[in-house]
Structure 1
């Protein structure tokens, strides 16, 4: 298995999770459609790196997700609305064993012995300790965040602002309102 020093999440990423190397450093196992490899960065560092390359950061993306989806510790994270890359955790991002999933790579889920069996688009099967209802709610939330973020990004936003007042000048008779159509 190859070891990469750096990784930017792309649409082929199916899931990733943290693991410790022989020196107890947190690294990440990444599964893409046709390859598996280890990245010498933690999952949260990979998420932050993926956001920073387009001018954002993980804290801002998580804050935005909480505003859109509600204050939840397991909110999905929109990484790139242009390429429709969103990920969601199977548990709180604070846990070392958290698995981050790409909802676009999941084909279907099944309940098996109070766990969730996840079938990916390339027919790979993964068992997850989450109950089916809980996992599917997180999957649905990620799809919603992706849809809402993409729709908001594609809306035209117009800003009409009031010109600054100049000292000693007469007031204009008409009023100009400040408006924003950003939802």
Structure 2
């Protein structure tokens, strides 16, 4: 089994979750495209490191999501709007076995009894989770709602800057009147 030292989420990331090795160390199990592998990082660290590389972080992303959706527990998060990476958790993000699903890769769900759901994903993957189908789909809907709101908020009109032909000269000085305009 391949073990990577680091990982950045991308548009082929289907899901990530925690998995312990034989020595009890927590790794991230990643399904990317048709492959699966372990990463020597916690799932939350992968999300945070990816977001830091994009100028944000997990804490800020979570705060933004809660501001837009209300005080939602286990709220979804935007990782990268341009690549369409929106994640939503199955459990508390502090739970080592929380599965973070990429919204774009969730295709369908099927109830398997009272508290089990089969989630059909891109690339032919299927994951069976211990959660009611309705609960899973509510989490999915919240992620879709977050995506809609953030996408709408980012579609403002373009503002063009027209440079003036005449500039201002600002001269720093001392005393009460610190600056002189010419």
Q: What is the TM-score normalised by the length of structure 1?
A: 0.82
Unmatched segments (≥5 aa) in structure 2: 160-182
1:96 equivalent in alignment to 2:96: yes
Cα distance, 1:25 vs. partner? 2.4
Measure the CA separation in 1 of the matches of 2:7 and 2:124: 24
Cα pair distance change 1:95/1:157, threshold 3 Å = farther
Q: Within 2, Cα distance between the matches of 1:122 and 1:95?
A: 26
Aligned length: 159
State how far apart, in whole Å, the 1-side matches of 2:130 and 2:53 are.
32
TM-score, normalised on structure 2? 0.82
Q: In the alignment, does 2:150 pair up with 1:149?
A: yes
Looking at CA atoms only, which structure, 1 or 2, has the larger radius of gyration? 2
> 8 Å contact 2:14–2:122 — kept in the other structure?
no
Deviation at 1:105, TM superposition (A): 0.5
CA deviations over 1:78-118 (Å, ceiling 9, x no partner): 00111111000001111111000011101110111121111
RMSD: 1.6
Residue equivalent to 2:175: none
Deviation above 4 Å: which 4+ runs of structure 1?
none
* Superposed displacement of residue 3, structure 1: 0.8
SS at match of 2:31: strand
Partner of 2:31: 31
Specify the alignment match of 1:53 in structure 2: 53
